[in-house]
Structure 1
Amino acid sequence: MKVLLLAGDYIEDYELYAPLKALEMLDIDVHVVCPDKKAGDVIQTALHIVEGWQTYSERPGHPFELTHTFSEIKLEDYSGLIVPGGRFPEYQRYDQRVLDVISRFFTDNKPVAAICHGLQLLSAAGVLKGRSCSAFPMCKLDVVAGGGKYVDYEAFSKNVHVDGNLVSAPAYPAIGVWMREFVKLLGVEIHF
């Protein structure tokens, strides 16, 4: 099974590495791509930390070497899509190629996992109309402007929202439950 993960400079470090490693553990092949970059190119991740200020702070995270080339992907090869957050969604939402990728997964009704600021991309792609989802609180207006219903959670760590093929969560503390629900939508069964 193959899953596509959209990425770009200043993607949230945890929201890239944690899903990648969780899915690798389940023997799911994750292809990480970024527009205008190829396999082997490096993107810079960021750590976004809530420290009591009016907004989060940002520090450089771990550099990441892309696994595949964006221009060479074949969407029919993938069983699902992951759309992390960080800062890359705010500039990639103007890239029609990225929006077309997202739209295709919704058209094909394949599982999509979006978290935090990743919902900005879904809103820009026009796939939130009539859907409910969670996102980072500062993205509520993006969700509503995209025709979606924003689901608010006071605590980030255990909250995940599922609406059809869409699994969403407010921020990286919910990665565990977010991935659990995505894996269920992929049809992967885990036996202990």
Structure 2
Amino acid sequence: MTMKILMLSGDFVEDYELYAPLKALEMLDIDVHVVCPDKKAGDTVQTAVHVMDGSLQTYSERLGHPFELTHTFANINLADYAGLVIPGGRFPEYQRYNERVLNIVKHFFARNLPVAAICHGVQILAAAGVLKDRTCSGLHLCKIDVEAGGATFVEYDPESKNVHVEANLVTAPAYPAIGVWMREFIKLLGVKVQM
């Protein structure tokens, strides 16, 4: 039976942080169900590309690829999923107010199932109340959200690219860490990669 993973998304999800994990998991024959509140399979979300070039006080944003959702948010059965992926971008900023999104996150934590969040994705975790007494990484601009959620924020470390693993949670600051972030999530899923 193929393992299923749930991935949350929404308009202005960060392009790399949606596509790269999706393709990495698909490559391992994992069935990824990408959903968005108030949308159904076949609807699209607009992605965004965030550029951190160091010359600006913050990142710049450009339109990314439209992404066709694979499944209908209203129809998901949480018992079907072995883990949860929360990309970054701007969608966590507004979806952290969606009660069902928060309940989805709580479901995975209550069952100690693997959860991977990157960049602004930690805003949803903080809003769901699952970060208390934990440590996690995320985009530096989310430090205040992480700390308000009761967690210790792990500062950026270029050597590790800031992937941070604690129990069932894998977090990272932004798309440059996607490779190590997914590597650690895949380990938590118990998937063995043969070389």
Regarding TM over 0.5, the answer is yes
Provide the residue aligned with 1:18 in structure 2.
20
Amino acid at match of 2:43: D
**Unpaired runs of at least 5, structure 1:** none
Over 3 Å counting, the alpha-carbon distance change for 1:174 and 1:164 in structure 2 is same
Deviations 1:105-129 (A, max 9, x none): 0001000000000000000000000
CA distance in 1, matches of 2:47, 2:158: 24
Aligned length: 192
Whole-angstrom distance in 1 between the partners of 2:160 and 2:153: 17
Instruction: Write the distance in 2 (CA, Å) between the matches of 1:68 and 1:157.
Output: 34
Q: CA deviation at 1:157?
A: 6.9
Over 3 Å off, 4+ runs:
none
- 1:37 is the counterpart of 2:39: yes
CA shift in 2, pair 1:156/1:117, >3 Å: farther
Deviation at 1:159, TM superposition (A): 2.5
**Contiguous gaps of at least 5 residues in structure 2:** none
How far is 1:155 from its partner? 2.2
Residue correspondence of structure 1 range 29-178 to structure 2 within 5 A? 29-51=31-53, 52-155=55-158, 158-178=161-181
How far residue 43 of structure 1 moved from its aligned partner, in angstroms, is: 0.4
Q: Deviations over 1:123-167 (max 9, x none)?
A: 000000011000000000000000011001142873310000000
- Alpha carbons 2:13, 2:47 under 8 Å: kept: yes
- TM-score using structure 2 length: 0.97
3-state DSSP of counterpart to 1:155: coil
With structure 1 as the length reference, what TM-score do the two structures score? 0.98
The answer to whether the Cα contact below 8 Å between 2:102 and 2:124 also exists between their aligned partners in 1 is yes
Task: Tell me if structure 2 keeps the 8 A contact 1:115–1:169.
Answer: yes
Residue identity opposite 1:46 in structure 2 = A
* CA-based RMSD: 1.0
CA contact (8 A) 1:7 1:33 kept: yes
Name the SS of the counterpart of 1:82 in structure 2. strand
Instruction: Please give the secondary structure, in 2, of the residue aligned with 1:185.
Output: helix
- For 1:60, the aligned partner's letter is L
Question: Which is further off, 149-158 or 17-26?
Answer: 149-158
CA contact (8 A) 1:133 1:149 kept: yes
SS for the counterpart of 2:71 is coil
Structure 1 letter corresponding to 2:105: I
> What is the alpha-carbon distance in structure 2 between the residues aligned to residue 13 and residue 156 of structure 1?
24
Code of the residue aligned with 1:118 in structure 2: it is: G
